[in-house]
Structure 1
Amino acid sequence: MPVKQESTLDALVRMRIRSLRKARGWSLDNLAERSDISPSQLSRIETGHRRISLDQLTAIASALGKSVDQLVESPDDSDVVIRPDRDEDRGLTTWLLSGDNGPQGLTVAKMRITDPAGAVAPDDLGVHPGRDWFTVLSGTVVLYLGERVIRVEAGQAASFSTMTPHTLRADRGPAEVLCILDHNGERNHLHASP
């Protein structure tokens, strides 16, 4: 079995090299020039007629603007399937949709809120620089914003300055929201306090 896994990963690396080269519109000669490996060696590497040495893999990765890790990452489903992060104490389940690829440093996340609306202690309200934006996908969210209590129902959205103390709770059952957060919002909303 390990031999099959190795050959599967080897074939995946070869396919990634070829696909990245072609996506850039490069011929074997173009990649050869950038990696200091002959076109014939590159051809044999891509077709599986030659094993890839570590120094060749490093040179190819660099020429393609990728890390070696990116070329050899496991072909499992972790880069495709987004698994939830459950925080039972906070009544929050989060799916981080944007990962490290959020536009302009923003994070996109889906959140399922089960913590019920009701009495909110001052310590429950957070403040941080920036703005938060969310739309309610299902259920109803109660937005505590300073002294204000605002109901936001499915199909509605909210945007507000996060310098105003705030928190979200679910009203009469779980609610799901899609939110866009800046770096400060991600740190304050998606990561539990120590």
Structure 2
Amino acid sequence: MSVTPKDVLAGVGPRLHALRRARNISLATLAAETGLTASTLSRLENGKLRPTLEQLLPLARAHGVPLDDLVAAPPTGDPRIHLRPVRRSGFTVVPLTRRPGGIQAYKVIYPPAGTTATTTLQTHDGYEWFYVLNGHARLVLGDQEYRLGPGEAAEFDTRTPHQISSAGAQPAELLTLFSAQGERAHLSPSPTLPT
């Protein structure tokens, strides 16, 4: 069952009346607080006047309630993201984005070094950027090998043979951005601070 704007506005008058009565103030006092006339307030409370945003804002402020409470706005839903981890080749991938295409974000957890047998370098289209959150990561890129610790980041073309793994006795946790289209991460230089 959907609620129409007319239904929502019809309920505003009784809510305004209840709020004023709960504060035990007169129409004249509320008029002084809001800049609206007592006549306008009375007509709003009795449902004889359709409320406008210009009227509702000072009323919400005077009563100390959110505007959503005056119009009984429906809840916006649960803002939490319910992530579903996926195990792949011995490591765990938690997708952080849901839309197809473009840059994808993941939290990737690599098990401690030596616990997986995969040593094969891989190649594929795209571009990858990662940031080490915890532990130490080992990045093999072509014939070069790098060890990265917490707070360090790497960026590379995934057409270059590569492999990422943990470089220590603890799991390595990485925040990874990947783009199949080959977009690169662009960082703006920090503004120069005055001395």
TM-score (normalised: structure 2): 0.49
TM-score (normalised: structure 1): 0.49
| Bigger-Rg structure (1/2) | 2
